[in-house]
Amino acid sequence: MITAADVSLDVLNRFTDEDSLEQTTHIMKYIFPRQFGLHNVFTSQIDSRETAQPFKDYTLREQEIAQIHFHRKAQTGNGKTSTPRRLRGEAVLLVQTLRRRHRQCAYVELLRKYCPLSV
């Protein structure tokens, strides 16, 4: 069962300003981690000291994203992450549309209709 604490972990619920390009780029780091140089399930090795599971938990990436910003700031002088070229334009618009539709969707009503609880 999903609790209120689980919902607050979701990156789409944590960043609510749909017009913010910075927040959209941050969400894109969760969707396209490999493009931003983050750990991903397809090419990265699992550190057995971090988890005993076959895959790493990608629910919260904030520490990993902060480390990337810190390293870039040390190298270039600013901590800003530029959006990779292949993710500019249509991909940004797609994520912004995803964010808007997520906000408008009544998930509870969908669950009530398609997964009714019989008491």
Mean pLDDT (the chain) is 81
pLDDT in tens, the chain (119 residues): 445 554 467 889 888 898 899 999 999 999 999 898 888 877 766 666 766 666 666 777 888 888 877 767 666 666 567 788 999 999 999 999 999 999 999 999 999 999 988 76
Distance CA 51, CA 58 (A): 12
Per residue in 55-83, pLDDT tens?
Answer: 666 777 888 888 877 767 666 666 567 78
Domain ranges within the chain, ordered by starting residue: 4-114
Distance CA 47, CA 76 (A): 28
Q: Which residue's structure tokens are 């009503």?
A: 109
